[in-house]
Amino acid sequence: MAKQRSHYVCSDCGTTTSQWVGKCPGCKKWNTLSEELIPDSGKRAHRHQSNSTSSKAKPLATVEVSTIPRLITGETELDRVLGSGVVPGSLILLGGEPGVGKSTLMLQVAFSVSATGHKILYVSGEESPEQVRMRASRLGEVPESLMILPETRVPLILQALEEDEYSLLVVDSVQTLDTPTIDGVPGSVSQIRESVASITSVAKTRGLPVFLVGHITKEGSIAGPKILEHMVDVVLQFEGDWNHAFRLLRAAKNRFGTTSELGIYEMLSGGLKAVENPSDVLLTEAGEPSSGSAIAVSLEGARPMLVEVQALVSTAVYGTPQRSGTTFDLRRLNMLLAVLEKRCGFKLGSFDVFLNMAGGMKIVDPANDLAVVAAILSSSLDLPLDRDVCFAGEVGLSGEIRPVPRLEARMAEASRLGMKRMLVSGHSKLPKSPKGLEVISVKRVSEVHSKIF
Ligand code: TYD
Ligand code: MG
């Protein structure tokens, strides 16, 4: 028998090389190449043949669009992020760190989908049925139509799909999938690729939506080849902070909707609970106002929310001052400090600056800049800001305060939460402010100080 040939595949980007090298020529990462046997060319030819019937060009306008409606999962935050429900036949990859609550979220989805009379197949490759049952009983009464299959072998999973009519398939997790005809251990590039490919073809032909749970690596990307992200329709990221109960759900890729929507959950003893009014939980308890804290009116997707920014400016103990922001982009922080120094003469060169967002949320909106500047000023002067003043403005390099989108919605949210004053950019026309909210326009960063203290 002829010796089977092998090649080396990068576990990150899927680049193949004929010889082992330390650094992947594709993504330039180190130590990501591993050896794999090249699949038999006979099998490949067979695969081409079996597909040949469907590959005929036809006018795009004549392509029938499926009229099957989207499957509303009933998990409001998830539905929002997906853009009103799951598209039939779509593959959704849910990535997140261990323990963030991926399996819990999937079970909750299974619960609420089955409540509408659908049958669900939950494939668990990581936990035994007893373990899943134990978690499920914390979430409520376990529905009859939720089927569990402790299996990792793809052909057997596909066979189970043949045996009954399911409306949803959940695979927890994709790294445990095993296609016996392909060489390599579960979790390897070729295994993941082949397993997902066979599940995809079944999902597409039957219009079956599939959730795939995926682990993420230390760097935060989904473990396994990058090509996995290309193979699926939606990539969701579930993230959270260990010290907080909040969990954020975002779409990193969405073929059927936007990627700017954000879902917020809170992990409680009875499972994940949707946070409908994020501002209520993102603001710390009102009490004695303390210096260094300012409220930003942020926008995530379509939702405005009030977030508390906390800064601490203190004399640097060591030679090099520290700048630290666990939930804020450090480069942006350095930029804002440089603007404060250059445009306001505020010398922070010999001070440590720490910055945080209450609730441990990573909210990336340039409109937070103004609140960050206010929090830094407040901490370094040790002057607390009033609890009813809030900010929404982007800071430019020349110290100008730039307007931010959807100001009207932000104002409405600020007013709803009892804010009395809101600082915004004076460079654009202001919408009518809600009753009880005084809108103060500022044009330059140097004006902020006199308006708030
Ligand atoms: P899990 O869904 O197992 O996470 P993953 O699948 O992402 O690894 O969630 C595990 C954590 O969630 C665990 O630390 C316990 C916690 N948890 C709760 O706080 N409340 C609950 O009702 C459940 C089911 C889990
Ligand atoms: Mg899990």
Give a yes or no: residue 46 inside a domain.
no
Beta strands 421-425 and 91-96 are unpaired
Are both 253 and 391 inside the same structural domain? no
- Please identify every residue whose CB atom is under 5 Å from ligand 2, which is an ion: 103
Residues 6 or more apart whose Cβ sits within 8 Å of residue 66 = 88, 89, 207
Q: Phi/psi of residue 247, each to 5°?
A: -130, 135
pLDDT at 246 (0 to 100): 83
The 10s digit of each residue's pLDDT in 333-386 is 999 999 999 998 888 888 999 998 876 777 789 999 999 999 999 999 999 999
List, in order, residues 6 or more apart from 205 with CB less than 8 Å away.
89
Q: Within a domain: residue 296?
A: yes
**Which residue carries 């004053």 as its tokens?**
421
Domain that holds residue 167: 72-276
Q: Name the closest ligand to CA 95.
A: 1
- Expressed in angstroms and rounded, the spacing between residue 22 Cα and the centre of ligand 1 is 37
Distance CA 332, CA 321 (A): 16
Least distant ligand from the CA of 175: 2
Our answer on whether the CB atom of 100 is closer than 6 Å to any ligand 1 atom is: yes
Q: Record the pTM.
A: 0.77
Last residue of a domain, one of 220, 245, 276: 276
User: According to the 3-state scheme, what is the secondary structure of 436-451?
Assistant: CCEEEEECEHHHHHHH
For residue 169, the SS3 value is strand
Q: Which two tokens stand for residue 352?
A: 């440590």
Tens of pLDDT, residue by residue over 36-48, are 877 665 555 455 4
Average pLDDT over residues 102-115: 94
CA dihedral 269, 273, 278, 283 (to 10 degrees): -10
Alpha helices in 277-406 (DSSP H): 278-282, 330-344, 369-381
Residue 397 domain flag: yes
What atom in ligand 1 is closest to the CA of residue 172? 6
Q: What is the mean pLDDT of residues 297-308?
A: 86
> Residue 248 domain-assigned?
yes
- Tell me if 14 CB under 6 Å of ligand 1: no
- The count of structural domains within the chain is 3
Domain shared by 142 and 269, yes or no: yes
Q: Is residue 51 part of a domain?
A: no
The tens digit of pLDDT for each residue in 382-438 reads 999 998 999 999 999 999 999 999 999 999 989 988 899 999 999 988 999 898 999
Taking alpha carbons only, the member of 408, 351, 344 closest to residue 373 is 344
Ligand 2 centre to CA of 346 (Å) is 49
Check whether residue 254 and residue 380 sit in a common domain: no
C-alpha distances out from residue 66 to 42, 83, 205, 206, 432, Å: 35, 17, 12, 11, 44
Identify whether residues 229 and 316 lie together within a single domain: no
> With a 6 A CB cut-off, is 101 part of the ligand 1 pocket?
yes
Q: What is the pLDDT of residues 210-244, one digit of tens each?
A: 999 998 866 666 666 677 888 999 999 998 766 67
Residues 186 and 253 in one domain: yes
Gap between the Cα atoms of 293 and 309, Å rounded: 6
CA 274 to centroid of ligand 1, rounded, Å? 15
Q: Are residues 259 and 331 in the same domain?
A: no
The answer to whether residues 109 and 250 belong to one domain is yes
Of the candidates 395, 240, 245, the one whose C-alpha atom is nearest the C-alpha of residue 326 is 240
Instruction: Note the pLDDT of residue 45.
Output: 46
Q: Is residue 286 located within the same domain as residue 252?
A: no
| Burial readout 204-217 (b: 16 or more C-beta within 10 A, e: otherwise) | eeeebbbbbbbbbe
Distance CA 311, CA 333 (A): 11
| Mutual angle of helices 445-452 and 330-344, in 10-degree steps | 80
**pLDDT score, position 14:** 78
Asked whether residue 357 falls in the same domain as residue 420, the answer is: yes
| Burial degree of 22 (CB within 10 A; 0-12, 13-18, 19+) | exposed
Residue at a domain's end among 276, 303, 331:
276
Query: Does the CB atom of residue 99 touch ligand 1 within 6 A?
Result: yes
Query: Hey, which of 107, 239, 267, 269 would you mutate to test ligand 1's pocket, going by the most ligand atoms within 8 Å of its Cβ?
Result: 267
Does an H or E element contain 354, and which? strand 351-357
Residue pair 72/112 in contact by the 8 Å Cβ criterion: no
How many angstroms does the Cα of residue 300 sit away from the middle of ligand 2? 27
User: What is the distance between the alpha carbons of residues 277 and 120, in angstroms, rounded to a whole number?
Assistant: 31
Give the domain-ending residue among 241, 276, 311: 276
pLDDT recorded at residue 7: 86
Ligand 1 close to Cβ of residue 291 (< 6 A): no
Cβ of 85 below 6 Å from ligand 1: no
**Looking at the domain assignment, is residue 375 inside a domain?**
yes
* CA–CA separation, 76 and 210 (whole Å): 18
Does 342 share its domain with 284?
A: yes
Do 301 and 314 belong to one domain? yes
pLDDT of residue 286: 59
Residue 77 is inside which H or E element, if any? Answer: helix 76-82
The enclosing domain of 405 has a CATH number of: 3.30.230.10
Residue 50: pLDDT above 60?
no
- What's the rounded Cα separation, in Å, for the pair 145 and 71? 16
Ligand 1 proximity of 242 Cβ (cutoff 6 Å): no
- What are 246-291's pLDDT values in tens digits? 888 989 899 988 887 888 899 999 999 998 887 776 676 656 778 9
Question: CA nearest 194: which of 213, 174, 210?
Answer: 174
- Residue 58 domain-assigned? no
| Average pLDDT estimate for 21-29 | 88
* Residue with CA nearest ligand 1 atom 21: 271
**Residues 96 and 142 occupy one common structural domain:** yes
The pLDDT tens digits of the residues spanning 66-106 come to: 667 889 999 999 998 998 889 999 999 999 888 899 999 99
pLDDT digits (tens, 9 = 90+) for 150-202: 999 999 999 999 999 999 999 998 999 999 988 878 888 888 889 999 999 99
* 435 inside domain: yes
Whether 103 lines ligand 1, by a CB cut-off of 6 Å, is yes
